[in-house]
């Protein structure tokens, strides 16, 4: 990241932090309503989402070779979710009928759990591999 962009982002960060702190103080002094805090949270959420989408695209435009690794990671993530969906069952126990509407929702919940297990094992494996490789070197 260029030094100019880094400086601008730091200034924006401090401005957002200052406004958030000011709104927090005003809220506890009952000077503003809960709605104002909620709208500020929406604003921060959408700013964060926009930054999460736009900044990687800018980085990809500056370094197209780095996009290959990101694309491989995205394809691997989609593959994990597809495999999880195929493995997940759609059976429902009677005690879960109050929480899950039907077999399709049950399959989606199962997919989420299986994907979580696969990704957790991958993260643990990456940490173990990193630690072992550092010991070997």
Residues 6+ apart with CB under 8 A from 37: 23, 24, 27
Residue 79 has pLDDT above 90, yes or no: yes
Instruction: Look up residue 103 and give its two tokens.
Output: 């077999």
Same domain (yes/no): 3, 16:
yes
Percent of the chain with pLDDT strictly greater than 90: 58
Same-domain check for residues 73 and 88: yes
**Lowest model confidence (mean pLDDT) among 30-34, 36-40, 100-104, 109-113:** 100-104
d(CA 91, CA 102): 9
Query: For residue 80, is pLDDT > 70?
Result: yes
For residues 43 and 102, membership in a common domain is answered with no
My answer on whether 96 and 51 are in the same domain is: no
Please check whether residues 50 and 75 belong to one and the same domain.
no
Q: Give residue 83's domain range.
A: 64-137
Nearest to 110 by CA among 90, 81, 132: 90
In this structure, are 57 and 72 located in the same domain? no
Domain end point (choices 62, 84, 107): 62
CA distance 90 to 83: 15
C-alpha span between 116 and 82 (Å, rounded):
13
């Amino acid at each position: 990241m260029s030094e100019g962009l880094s400086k601008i982002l730091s200034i924006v960060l401090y401005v957002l932090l200052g406004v958030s702190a000011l709104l927090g103080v005003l809220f506890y002094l009952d000077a503003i309503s809960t709605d104002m805090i909620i709208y500020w949270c929406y604003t921060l959420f959408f700013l964060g989402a926009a930054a999460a989408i736009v900044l990687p695209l800018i980085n990809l435009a500056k370094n197209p070779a780095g996009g290959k690794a990101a694309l491989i990671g995205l394809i691997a993530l989609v593959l994990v979710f597809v495999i999880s969906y195929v493995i997940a069952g759609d059976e429902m126990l009677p005690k879960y009928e109050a929480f899950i509407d039907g077999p399709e929702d049950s399959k989606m919940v199962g997919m989420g759990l299986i994907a979580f297990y696969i990704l957790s094992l991958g993260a643990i494996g990456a940490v173990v591999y990193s630690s072992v490789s550092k010991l070997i070197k």
